[in-house]
Amino acid sequence: MLPFDFLILNFEFRQCPTPYTPHPTPYTLHPTPHTPHPTPYTPHPTPYTLLKGTMSNLEAVTEASVLVNQANLDPKTVKTEGAGKAYQAVAQSMALAVQDGTDYLRNIEALAIAAQSVLTEQLVKNTIEKKMEEAGDCVKSMSAITASLVTPAVGTFGAIGDTAGEVLKKFPSGE
């Protein structure tokens, strides 16, 4: 038996309480008749002219692709684009580092809240049972948890953000 067989075995078919009824007025794409544009498209009377005077379509496309390749494969363009891509990669890495810091801070806070919840339960129990010394210890433990877990985690998160910003500032952007 597969782990999900119980889902198949316990599956029930139920009748929908209200059957489907179509909308009384059907949907129309154009509620008003379509009117053509007042000035229809007419091709330009002269053919493409780039650098060499009048050209055919094939010559124009060939010339345009040569110009694009020359512009894109220029060493300065390649270097600038490469530096820009590297900068984007570093920026993405720094953003991930800050996200990891956020996850760390969230996890530490979850641990602190869980520990404080247990201590709050003990505080209430000790207060009800008139054990004031133990209740005072619970309060001291709560502030110790905050001081030992949450405060350093906030500092660590701030340090991660500052370091990520400094790394990104120092990295050349390709400009």
Q: Which two tokens stand for residue 148?
A: 């030992």
* 154: confidence class by pLDDT, cuts 50, 70, 90: very high
pLDDT digits 0-9 by tens, 36-53: 656 666 655 555 544 555
Task: Give the residue-averaged pLDDT of 67-94.
Answer: 82
Q: pTM for this one? A: 0.52
Task: Give the residue-averaged pLDDT of 7-12.
Answer: 45
What is the CA 131 to chain-centroid distance, rounded? 51
Residue 20 Cα distances to 12, 14, 112, 119, angstroms = 20, 15, 53, 56
Question: Which residues on adjacent β-strands are paired with residue 15?
Answer: none
Quote the mean pLDDT of the chain: 75
Give helix 57-72 / helix 75-128 axis angle, nearest 10°. 60
Instruction: Give me the residue label for tokens 């201590």.
Output: 119
CA dist 168 and 83 (Å) reads 13
CA dist 118 and 49 (Å) reads 80
- Give pLDDT, residue 34: 55
Contact 150, 108 (CB under 8 A): yes
CA dist 159 and 109 (Å) reads 17
